[in-house]
Structure 1
Amino acid sequence: MLENPVLQRELLVNLRMPRAFWLLLIYQAVLAAVVYFAWPKEDVRIDMTDSNNSVGNLVDMVFLGQYLLASLMAPSFASTAISGEKERKTYEMLLASPIVPQSIVMGKLVAALTHLAILIFASLPIVMLCLPLGGVSFYEVIAAYVALICAVITFGMISVACGSFFSRNSSSLVVSYLVILPLAIAGVLFWQSLSNFGTTRFNLAITVIPGLAAAIVIFLFYIVSARMLYPRDMGSEGKEVIDPDQEAEEAIGLVIQRDQFPDRLFAPPKRETLMKDGTNPVYDKEMRSEIFGQGTLMLRLAIQISMLLAIPMMAIFLYICKDLAPWYISYVILFNILIGPVFSAGSVTSERERQTLDLLLTTVITPWEILWGKLLSSLRVSSVLSCFLLWPLLLAIPLVPEYLSNLPTMIAYLIIFCLTCLTTSVLGLFCSTVFGKTITSLIATYSIILFLYLTPLATSYFAYEYFPDAPATPAVYASTVTSPFAASFAMPLYVDDFHNMTIDWSPRGSKEPGFLRYRLSDLAHFGGYVGFTVLFNAVLLGLMVWMFNSRWRVSSSGN
């Protein structure tokens, strides 16, 4: 391990980058701010026999927050470990070196998880500050961190394994998220369900969870090492040779037929005739060749995994517990958030990486034609894939009387879905115009989406949990108008005896007069989301048109 050249090289490169310092600084500052503002206001020592005190809730919130952040960051660090070598055209040279595959995989995994390990251990002193208050023991904190470290290692190994199957960083990143996010959400629900069983949760955290994590890591480590020991046929420049006919024959479960409906909506057949006059060549090229030039494995996995998860969610959220329909809409939105930027974040950066952007800008194609061609092609693919998950709701509307009587709310769900599809594609195209590399553009897109969609929800929950009567709390709730999740839950849904089942982003069942007095109306919240989203997309489109008209600005971004 100490003499592993892959590990040494990765650590020297990664830990010397400025992002390592800034990430640690921001992470520690946010965690310290959460502990500071949530610090109990009581002057007396809290009873340690009370398992539901504020200190225990604070430690659980900090732990779950770190767990979710680690789940979101692990793919960004680890999924490109092997696929990045393929993009940089160094994969064949790495395989030809005398380094054994096990050393390569181990070096990549350890180097990718070093950032997360530093963040986790650096947060331990802040969490330890809560121990003198009582309500939580030292051993409970250690058990939580053992479970957290096991989860991070497991998610990192899953990401490295996904990267070994793809030649593009964007594909490996998306598939990693599709696999890891359901596991992360299941982990949160499991941990919360055992909050009142301290001894049971402690025993599971130090025995079952490490054993399960070790089994998964060892199995995937063997699979990835075997793939590197006996690699598939490699073509020139480190790209895998893909035969569409052979890929269709070997595909398991799902085969994309580009000449049949509905596959031709997002995977049209290759053109065999000349284009008609007036056809946008950028759009035609993007739809027919660019997006699917590396095979359809990522598309097939995305469809299969999402549909597999959608079946139980559809049964529970749409037909059994009808008042939980916003949760299914949130699942569809989350899928589009993951899949949408993949097809737009590399629209312009891929031209830079192939050094064809200058040639494209010197053609007679106008900047607006270039923009709408790339935007519409990516939007078409992401929206069609997301609609595969939306049709159960459209089917449930005529079948379930409660949904038919709430038709305005159902229409609002569709509007929220359409605006989310548009926003993820426009934002990905904007980041692709600004940044010079596809992976940088993709990570920047996900970061902005995380800031707009999830950060206001977390802030609102924290404000209502610890500062329900503060004057600024209503303003914090109003900031959730940027999130489609909040807009979905804000819409009223009347079921059974026409009881309002609206779910708020404050603690469930909150009945404080202050909350009821300052809460925005459902219609105003939905209108605020629609207005913000339309204005946000209009501004991004205006900036992109300006940058493409200033051709030197777009071209020089790749330097």
Structure 2
Amino acid sequence: MLFRENPVLQRELISNLRMTRGFLLLFAYVAGLGMLVYAAWPANQTLDLARPEEAQKLVNLFFFGQYILVSLMTPSFAAGAITGERERESYEMLLASPLRPGSIVLGKLLASLTPLAELMICSLPIVMLCLPLGGVSLYEVLVAYVAMICSVGLFGMISLWCSSFFQRTSASLVASYMLILPLAMAGVLVWRALQQAAELRIMVVLAIVPIACLSVGALLWADVCRRLIKPPDLGSGGKQAIDLETEAKEAVGLYIERDQFPDKLFAPPKRTTFLDDDANPIYDKEMRSEIFSQGTLMLRLVIQISMGLALPVMAVCLFMQRQLAPWYIAYVLLFNLLVGPVFSADSLTSERERSTLDLLLTTLITPWQMLWGKLLSGLRVSSVLTSFLLWPVFLACLMPVGYWPNLLTMGGYFLIVGITATTTAITALFCSTVFKKSSSSLMCSYLVLATLFLAPVAANVFVQTFAAASNAAGVVAVAQATSPFAAAFNLPLTLDEWTNVERINTNIFWGYLGFSALYGGVLLLAMTQLFKVRWRVSE
């Protein structure tokens, strides 16, 4: 019942492996890694085996790229394993079946990890091509794959554990990313720190990593099984509305007071009076009922995890090593990239899923009111959450720690974060307008934003490492105008005995401002036309 005759595993594998997107994902993944190795392949016709540094850089780049890609894709497969059953209204039928909780959890976990296993197996021929270059032994390749397999298994279990706590896939996905990304970055840093000690790295990976991953995974496994045995939401279809009194009794850790400042900025209390005549009912409904109808568990976890991670980053980057201030801004931007789309990606897809979109479109509310009501409600929550992380930057500007001569640069940081928050919200709302499912809309939002924000930075690092003198360097420099990360790192910062003026290009900052304005305007116009033309709605 656990493996060969597990109906959950069989059903998930059949439905997932027959989808076209699985083959497209496999092709794109292998083609991308192949192009990466081809572009970084040494151009010398004769290889100097006594100098394997270039081969080591190539193999390390291959493994780091694959590790980050697989880590980012793991929640997309596993975070909706249980929340998807709730959204399809099949959760209670699954619990009423004769299957044991362990069988259900194992089936969901293996089905989620199978596509990732296919990707890692199909990448083996590519890495084998790098072995003849020297510098890396077969044992190191095997150790790298062991570390990657153990990490992906743990990340899948973390995503499944988050899926058992939340009612919506979007909330589970964000919580999974908030937990997995720090672990993935820690894994990269440890691997690089042990680069000069190959034997020690092999010992650590083979002796410590599997035991640690199995131990943590077993604890999460037991907790998920316990929740399936005694589900707290059985009998409600997972769609119950949680009132303030119930949430106050069951809340763990931080509790949000929706009638107190600053909590009411992003979680206003429920309305007890009539709407004003000129009020937007869409905005009021989204802010007071829709976004927080399932409680504030996801919100509380996001605040606690983000602030807990921000404390050491803030101390090091803003006060101890002030030249690293752009890295703290990068952390804030990454937080908004993860959290921002969640509150906007299901704005219209949720209406379709509840079959209320037709009713909404037959009301007297204009398309423009629907559009800005949906946009501002999601943007308000994400921007307030992001602003919590900007308070240390504001305090650093007030304190005499060396930032007073850089007030224009600090203002540029605030402007970049604000524009990025708006861009993420508009992108997620556009995806919600185009797609029919909230999960598809959210994943497309992450894909588009990662392509715009992160891909140019990764391409610049790649070009500077392997092809600094090529013509591609100029193209990549122009492409960085789409990335807020590149814009933040290209603002002048002058401190005591340190300056980065010689290494920056302020045109990237101005290019980002111009691109964001053009990009946001085009998407707003496109969404307005979709409301008018696609659904035949007139103002």
TM-score normalised per structure 2 = 0.97
Name the amino acid aligned to 1:167: Q
Alignment check: 8 A CA contact 2:241 2:293 kept: no
Cα distance per residue 1:160-196 (max 9 Å; x no partner): 0000001100000000000001111111111111111
Q: Which residue of 1 aligns with 2:519?
A: 536
Alignment check: 8 A CA contact 2:79 2:160 kept: yes
Name the amino acid aligned to 1:452: L
Q: Which residue of 1 aligns with 2:528?
A: 545
Alignment check: 8 A CA contact 1:233 1:241 kept: no
Matches within 5 A, 1:425-504: 425-497=425-497, 499-501=498-500
Alignment check: 8 A CA contact 2:413 2:488 kept: yes
Closer, same or farther: CA 126–365 of 1 in aligned 2, 3 Å: same
Helix, strand or coil: the match of 2:141? helix
Distance 1:43 1:137 in 2: 22
Closer, same or farther: CA 87–380 of 1 in aligned 2, 3 Å: same
Alignment check: 8 A CA contact 2:9 2:107 kept: yes
Distance 2:238 2:484 in 1: 40
Give the Å deviation of 1:471: 2.0
Distance 2:385 2:43 in 1: 49
Alignment check: 8 A CA contact 2:158 2:176 kept: yes
Name the amino acid aligned to 1:101: P
Q: Which residue of 2 aligns with 1:98?
A: 98
Distance 2:486 2:337 in 1: 15
Q: Which residue of 2 aligns with 1:5?
A: 7
Cα distance per residue 1:418-461 (max 9 Å; x no partner): 00000010001000000001111000000001111111111111
Alignment check: 8 A CA contact 1:349 1:435 kept: yes
Name the amino acid aligned to 2:121: F
Q: Which residue of 2 aligns with 1:36?
A: 38
Cα distance per residue 1:281-309 (max 9 Å; x no partner): 11111110000000110000000000000
Give the Å deviation of 1:244: 2.7
Give the Å deviation of 1:236: 3.2
Name the amino acid aligned to 1:245: E
Name the amino acid aligned to 2:15: V
Alignment check: 8 A CA contact 1:234 1:241 kept: no
Alignment check: 8 A CA contact 1:489 1:503 kept: no
Cα distance per residue 1:265-285 (max 9 Å; x no partner): 111111111111111111111
Matches within 5 A, 1:72-221: 72-221=72-221
Give the Å deviation of 1:238: 3.8
Alignment check: 8 A CA contact 1:348 1:433 kept: yes
Q: Which residue of 1 aligns with 2:18?
A: 16
Name the amino acid aligned to 1:21: F
Q: Which residue of 2 aligns with 1:270?
A: 270
Distance 2:458 2:394 in 1: 30
Distance 1:533 1:470 in 2: 28
Closer, same or farther: CA 243–401 of 1 in aligned 2, 3 Å: closer
Name the amino acid aligned to 2:506: L
Distance 2:217 2:224 in 1: 10
Give the Å deviation of 1:237: 3.0
Helix, strand or coil: the match of 2:123? helix
Alignment check: 8 A CA contact 1:47 1:134 kept: yes
Give the Å deviation of 1:44: 3.7
Between 232-241 and 188-197, report the one with greater CA deviation: 232-241
Cα distance per residue 1:100-144 (max 9 Å; x no partner): 000000000000011110000100111011111211100000000
Alignment check: 8 A CA contact 1:167 1:240 kept: no
Alignment check: 8 A CA contact 1:433 1:554 kept: no
Closer, same or farther: CA 386–456 of 1 in aligned 2, 3 Å: same
Alignment check: 8 A CA contact 1:490 1:503 kept: no
Equivalent pairs: percent with the same residue?
55
Distance 2:103 2:362 in 1: 47
Name the amino acid aligned to 1:501: N
Distance 2:409 2:365 in 1: 42
Give the Å deviation of 1:241: 6.2
Alignment check: 8 A CA contact 2:346 2:438 kept: yes
Alignment check: 8 A CA contact 2:241 2:295 kept: no
Distance 2:389 2:61 in 1: 31
Question: What RMSD over aligned residues (CA atoms) do the two structures have, in Å?
Answer: 1.5
Matches within 5 A, 1:172-321: 172-240=172-240, 242-321=242-321
Closer, same or farther: CA 76–400 of 1 in aligned 2, 3 Å: farther
Name the amino acid aligned to 1:251: A
Distance 1:334 1:41 in 2: 35
Name the amino acid aligned to 2:19: M
Distance 2:486 2:418 in 1: 15
Give the Å deviation of 1:501: 2.9
Name the amino acid aligned to 2:519: F
Distance 1:502 1:458 in 2: 22
Cα distance per residue 1:57-112 (max 9 Å; x no partner): 11111101111001110000000001100111100000000000000000000000
TM-score normalised per structure 1 = 0.94
Alignment check: 8 A CA contact 2:481 2:508 kept: yes
Cα distance per residue 1:396-435 (max 9 Å; x no partner): 0011442111011001101100000000100010000000
Name the amino acid aligned to 2:499: N
Runs of 4+ deviating beyond 6 Å = none
Distance 2:373 2:7 in 1: 45
Distance 2:338 2:501 in 1: 26
Q: Which residue of 1 aligns with 2:49?
A: 47
Matches within 5 A, 1:262-411: 262-411=262-411
Distance 1:108 1:295 in 2: 26
Distance 1:400 1:91 in 2: 57
Alignment check: 8 A CA contact 1:547 1:554 kept: no
Name the amino acid aligned to 2:500: M
The gaps in structure 2 that reach 5 residues or longer are none
- Matched residue count: 536
Give the Å deviation of 1:502: 6.0
Alignment check: 8 A CA contact 1:489 1:502 kept: no
Give the Å deviation of 1:554: 8.6
Helix, strand or coil: the match of 1:235? coil
